[in-house]
Amino acid sequence: MLFSEVAECFAKVEATASRLEMSAQAAELLKKCEKEEVKPLIYIIEGNVAPSHEGLDIGIGEKFAIRAISQTSGYTEKAVLAEYKKSGDLGSAAENLLSKKSQMSLASSPNTLSKAYSSFVKIAQMSGAGSQESKVSLLSELLNGAKPVEARYLIRFCLGKLRLGIGDPSIIDALSMMKHDDKTDSQTILRAFNLCSDLGEVAEYYIAGKDLSHFSTQPFKPIRPALAERLSNAEEIMNKLGKCAVEAKYDGLRMQVHVREGRVDIYSRKLEKMTHMFPEITQAASKLKIKSAIFEGEALAYNAKEKKYYSFQQTMQRKRKYGIEGMAKEFPLRLFVFDLMYLNGKDMTLEKYSKRRKSLEKLFSKTEPLVPSELIYTDNPKKLDIYFTDLIGQGLEGIIAKDLSQPYVAGARKFAWIKLKKSYGALADTVDIVIIGYYLGKGQRQEFEFGGLLAAVLNDETDEFETIAKIGSGFSEDEMQSFEKMLDEIKVKDKPKGVNSKLTPDFWVKPKYVITVAADEITLSPMHTAGMVGETGYALRFPRMMSLRDDKGPEDITTTKEIIEMFEMQKK
């Protein structure tokens, strides 16, 4: 397949607002692929050269992309920069300049999908002295054989700004549609994806005609985390689950640990590899008397002498690239292991919770700082309430009640797990929302370019971010300066694709950073688009920022469905 066919499809996808139509266009493109091209194409549509947990980034900055465009088009770097400022998009600038090339192309052949992908991988793998020049050379070679529309997406891809607005749910639907013209296989494909976080591998498996219902977990392919539903009190939980495990809910760093024959990797909630940051966890896991395992826990900075948990903010100081040994001494971690998904070659996700828990307790009986999470078993609401109050008194967040008969539900929010947390004002829980824009400082904040945030929840049915709050409180002066710098780097000229907003901030930003917010309540609003029916949506009343969540990505935030459920719970 020629890369120009990929680019032409991307242009159609970019021009449509319908998620179903995006999937249909991607399905048509996938139908044209050779079997060996499907995996690379899936990664390219996702905007990556490999699954994101492998951490393989292209690593080309705007400066070097401008140089490549200049070398190919015959225009000076100054002229390229001027075109970029005019359009606000370096990909579009490359397209415009290559459409009126001022020099003859060198002898070149058209780019195939395989050639483009191979070049992307080479660029990503280059490092060390002279690597940037080699990257520029490879990109120039691709641009030299490109049609103008190809240039748009070659540049955007290398900058990590593909901007198609097509997410993994739409790609999953596209895979099903290429075989059935509908979503017949979407849930089966989604389950496999949730078990390995590698949509390219799943697509390859699916295209080959293999039965995805037999797809299973494997070490070093991170599992998308199971999520908990909410109920408002102990009695509702007991009515829903009956006798259940009631587990302490820790406010720390969620970790997924993979072990095989002494090798250990640790993945964050966002499925980023962070093994080197936590030497005490890695060392303890490598000493486990097993052949292989995948287990999950919540890591907290913990003072064993005083039996004291440190705050989330103190724990988050451990997530760093430098000064790791010093911080490990100051804030030693304890990993409270709460689930076991794989053990000695066996996929445990299909086993009921009670069986997984027994295996977990046996494995982690004397493995400090890896310890089983604290829990009780009960069918008594009063006993649950007493336990809940005791945990809040210890500085924990609350409880997670777990259905003893349920499997591990990867990547989904089900009533297999139900959370009950301490209240924040009138609202029974905090919410995690993504920043989509920001406002300039006014009044006392006039000295700052940052004055507040526009933030959104995720509608997982439409795959859109819907606004729910303008946030102007909860920031220190240091945090305002930090936000100003951080958000300035991801500013975009126009409203990002996939954002549904009636409000217009002073600056739009790429949905990337997640914050935890407390509020007095959820109210109906004509201004915000979260769950909007007719002219009425939902909004947070008196929202205030609690923390920046580096451990969560936009796909992990509170959903519109959850907001509506919390609004209904509020009425009770």
Q: Annotate 338-396 with DSSP letters as a single string.
A: EEEEEETTEE-TTS-HHHHHHHHHHHTSS-TTEEEPPEEEES-HHHHHHHHHHHHHTT-
Residue of 172, 168, 294, 296 whose CA lies nearest to 225: 296
Q: What's the whole-number mean pLDDT along residues 133-159?
A: 94
In the predicted model, what is the mean pLDDT of residues 316-330? 80
Q: Is 249 one of the catalytic residues?
A: yes
* Position 268 pLDDT exceeds 90: yes
Per-residue pLDDT of 17-27, as tens digits, reads 889 999 999 99
72: its two tokens: 């190919």
Question: What's the rounded mean pLDDT across residues 526-538?
Answer: 95
515 SS3 class = strand
Give the residue-averaged pLDDT of 248-253: 91
Q: At what angle do helices 3-15 and 113-125 cross, to 10 degrees?
A: 90
- The single residue of 39, 135, 221, 249 carrying the catalytic annotation is 249
Of the candidates 524, 522, 520, 499, which has an alpha carbon nearest to the alpha carbon of residue 509? 499
Q: How far apart are CA 501 and CA 523, in angstroms?
A: 17
Whole-number Å distance between alpha carbons of 184 and 359:
36
**Of the candidates 522, 571, 515, 526, which has an alpha carbon nearest to the alpha carbon of residue 548?**
515
Find the mean pLDDT for residues 57-70. 92
Could you tell me the domains of the chain? 48-159 (1.10.3260.10), 227-421 (3.30.470.30), 431-571 (2.40.50.140)
What average pLDDT does the segment 107-131 reach? 90
Q: Looking at residues 121-143, what average pLDDT do you find?
A: 92
Residue 265 has pLDDT above 70, yes or no: yes
Residue 106, pLDDT above cutoff 70: no
Q: Give the helix/strand (H/E) hosting 457.
A: strand 452-459
Using the predicted structure, report yes or no on whether residue 240 has a pLDDT greater than 90. yes
pLDDT at 108: 67
Strands 253-260 and 263-267: antiparallel
Confidence at residue 104, expressed as pLDDT on a 0 to 100 scale: 44
Q: Is the pLDDT of residue 446 over 70?
A: no
Q: Does residue 306 have a pLDDT over 80?
A: no
Q: Residue 73's closest CA among 95, 47, 91?
A: 95
Please state, in angstroms and rounded to a whole number, the distance separating the CA atoms of residues 151 and 80: 13
Query: What pLDDT is stored for residue 435 in this prediction?
Result: 97
481 or 235, which is more confident?
235
Whether the per-residue pLDDT at 213 is higher than 70: the answer is yes
Q: What digits encode the pLDDT tens for the residues 29-44?
A: 999 999 999 999 999 9
Q: Is the pLDDT of residue 420 over 90?
A: yes
Q: What are φ and ψ of residue 39, in 5° steps? A: -60, -50
Q: What pLDDT sits at residue 426?
A: 62
- Asked whether the predicted pLDDT for residue 428 surpasses 80, the reply is no
Across all residues in the chain, what is the average pLDDT?
91
pLDDT at 141: 94
Question: What's the pLDDT at 525?
Answer: 94
pLDDT above 90 as % of the chain: 73
* Over residues 317-324, mean pLDDT: 80
Token couple for 520: 């007095």
Of 73, 213, 61, the C-alpha closest to 151 is 73
Name which of 8-12, 80-84, 361-365, 492-496 the model is least confident about. Answer: 492-496
